[in-house]
């Protein structure tokens, strides 16, 4: 058994494989990524010195279609983490039944200490490094932690210059002006909201009676908080890397979003509001709320704090926020967890829509995109919920059972080359 985040993935896979009686040979193949690429990313910094960053791109499994997955810029990026995220992308695409495999990429850096021109040069050099394995029919990157539509524009332009042809479908998550899709920026947060509403409906709960804490106030957390609030729930706590905020009768989510639009590094640090209490991220996770939405990074709910979680429902906006050890604790406490590979799949679903629109050069309106997203998310939720109920397993196990079976069937039907 490997340690680290990829160890979490293998533990989830091994547990599920035993439950579904997965063929030993298939199990052995699914424990390994198809391809791992590590690249050196040397760039000239603004002060003239050369800094060398390390970048990764992992393609975990392409049995069901081209690989798909974001690119993140963060000091903690490692090959272990990227492998784990690529595996989760594989399961995620299978759960929502879109024709993709899973990939992920990242550069180990601290973008908060870098200028825009340094980040752009790093992006272009990293793109050059991974270009041999990416492409519209091979592997399509997208935004992730600390990357954005602007980053995707730089990647698209780099590839277009090298190939002497505009390649709109090399990435998704682009700006509308560069062939992006309406609704893509909000898609992951919207998917979290749709999952939340379906969970409340299944449990017979009125949204107006539900209190919510959201950990993470980036693209996913802020959009999820806003949309869940608009459905009637009360967001009493929110946080990002700079700290957290609590107000029992509900935070001003609109005001907080507006604040981060102009604040340093788009963080909540320094935010003030009437009756708002400053709390830590650790305190937010253990608040006495009905619903917790971890939308930051992995390993946030673990064996150390799992027993202190008081929320009765968790909808995972981040990838891998709950460790297997914590899953066992939460299950014993009766906490219902809507897993990441279901709850935060809205982003890859609308990325799929963007990819299709780019190939066709025919773009849809926002209502059509949001309705198609809802249809896919609700159908996936229903399938996971029904299997969870039928087999008397938690939702993560049910989602993993569905995903691994789909990937295994595709691999079996394709066979092994040569």
Separation in Å, CA 373 to CA 98, 99, 172, 349, 368: 11, 15, 16, 7, 8
Determine how many CB atoms are found less than 10 A away from the CB of residue 327: 24
The secondary structure of 293-354 as a DSSP string is EE-S-TT-B-TTTGGG---SEEE--SSS-B-HHHHHHHHHHT-EEE-HHHHTTHHHHHHHHH
The answer, yes or no, to whether the previous bond of 366 is cis (omega within 30 of 0) is no
Tokens of 102: 């899973």
Integer Cα distance of 93 and 85 in angstroms: 12
CA atoms within 13 A on the CB side of 259: 16
Integer Cα distance of 138 and 156 in angstroms: 15
E-state strands within 18-96: 35-44, 50-61, 67-74
The verdict on whether 104 is a catalytic residue reads yes
Does residue 243 come out as left (phi exceeding 0), alpha (psi in the -120 to 50 range) or beta? left
- Each residue of 224-237: b (16+ CB within 10 Å) or e? bbbbbbeeebbbbb
> Is the Cβ–Cβ distance between 71 and 106 less than 8 Å?
yes
> Is the Cβ–Cβ distance between 129 and 55 less than 8 Å?
yes
User: Which among 68, 104, 174, 374 is annotated as catalytic?
Assistant: 104
The full length of the chain comes to: 418
Cα 305-7-132 angle, rounded to 5 deg: 125
Alpha helices in 61-115 (DSSP H): 79-95
What are the residues whose beta carbons fall under 8 Å from the beta carbon of 112, sequence distance 6 or more? 146, 265
Residues with active-site annotation: 104
């Amino acid at each position: 058994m490997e340690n680290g985040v990829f160890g979490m993935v293998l533990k989830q896979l091994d547990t599920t494989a035993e439950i579904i009686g997965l063929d030993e040979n298939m199990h052995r193949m699914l424990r390994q990524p198809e391809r791992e690429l590590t690249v050196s990313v040397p760039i000239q910094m603004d002060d003239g010195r050369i800094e060398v960053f390390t970048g990764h791109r992992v393609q975990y499994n392409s049995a069901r279609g081209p690989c798909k997955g974001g690119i993140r810029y963060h000091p903690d990026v490692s090959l272990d983490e990227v492998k784990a995220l690529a595996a989760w992308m594989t399961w995620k695409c299978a759960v929502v039944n879109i024709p993709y495999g899973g990939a992920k990429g990242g550069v180990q850096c601290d973008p908060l200490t870098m200028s825009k021109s340094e980040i752009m040069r790093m992006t272009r050099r990293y793109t050059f490094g991974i270009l041999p394995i990416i492409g519209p029919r091979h592997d399509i990157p997208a935004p992730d932690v600390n990357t954005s539509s602007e980053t995707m524009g730089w990647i698209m332009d780099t590839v277009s210059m090298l190939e002497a042809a505009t390649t709109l479908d090399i990435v998704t998550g682009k700006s509308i002006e560069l062939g992006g899709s309406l609704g893509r920026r909000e898609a992951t947060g919207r998917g979290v909201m749709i999952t939340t509403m379906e969970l409340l409906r299944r449990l017979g709960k009125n949204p107006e009676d539900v209190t919510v804490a959201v950990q993470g106030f980036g693209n996913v957390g802020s959009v999820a908080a806003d949309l869940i609030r608009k459905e009637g729930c009360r967001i009493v706590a929110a946080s990002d890397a700079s700290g957290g905020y609590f107000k029992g009768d509900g935070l001003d989510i609109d005001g907080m979003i507006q604040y981060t639009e102009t604040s340093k590094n788009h963080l909540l640090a320094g935010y003030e509001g009437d009756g708002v209490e400053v709390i830590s991220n650790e305190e937010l996770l253990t608040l006495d709320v009905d619903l917790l939405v971890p939308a930051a990074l992995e390993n946030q709910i673990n064996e150390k704090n799992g027993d202190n979680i008081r929320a009765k429902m968790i909808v995972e906006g981040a990838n891998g926020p709950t460790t297997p050890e914590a899953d066992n604790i939460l299950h014993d406490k009766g906490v219902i967890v809507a897993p990441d590979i279901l709850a935060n799949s809205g982003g890859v679903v609308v990325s799929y829509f963007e990819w299709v629109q780019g190939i066709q050069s025919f773009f849809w309106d926002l209502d059509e995109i949001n309705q198609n997203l809802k249809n896919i998310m609700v159908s996936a939720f229903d399938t996971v919920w029904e299997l969870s109920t039928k087999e008397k397993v938690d939702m993560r196990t049910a989602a993993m059972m569905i995903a691994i079976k789909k990937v295994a069937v595709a691999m079996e039907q394709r066979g092994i080359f040569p």
